[in-house]
Amino acid sequence: MKLMKKPIKKSVKKVVKKITKKPVKKAANSSDLLKKIKKVFAERITPMLAADGGGVKIIGLKGKILTVQLTGACGSCPYGLMTLAYGIQANIDDVFPKEKIVVQLAD
């Protein structure tokens, strides 16, 4: 499993670098967006992860890049990237379809 995780993580980092190459102007409403994101985490994402003994911590929002850290059982699970893509990113895309927010894992 470790062999699969590294190439996926590298490709995700390449995509994030391409997206963030251009300087991002800080939106005046970024704190409002972060509040809304935190509400989605509290209502949808955190309970889903807690059911399996895991959790997630929001590290920060920079432009359209949301950095999170998986905690508990999710932090050491080999399926962490699947949780990120199909659990967290999918919920964010569902609630904020026009925002185009990219969720990434903290190092």
Positive or negative: CA dihedral 81, 85, 32, 72? negative
Query: Where are the domains positioned within the chain?
Result: 2-6+28-105
pLDDT for residue 30: 77
pLDDT tens-place string over residues 36-89: 999 999 999 999 999 999 999 999 999 999 999 999 999 999 999 999 999 999
| Token representation of residue 60 | 């920060």
pLDDT tens-place string over residues 84-104: 999 999 999 999 999 999 999
CATH class entry, domain 2-6+28-105? alpha beta
Rounded Cα distance between 80 and 33, Å, is 25
Q: What is the pTM of this model?
A: 0.69
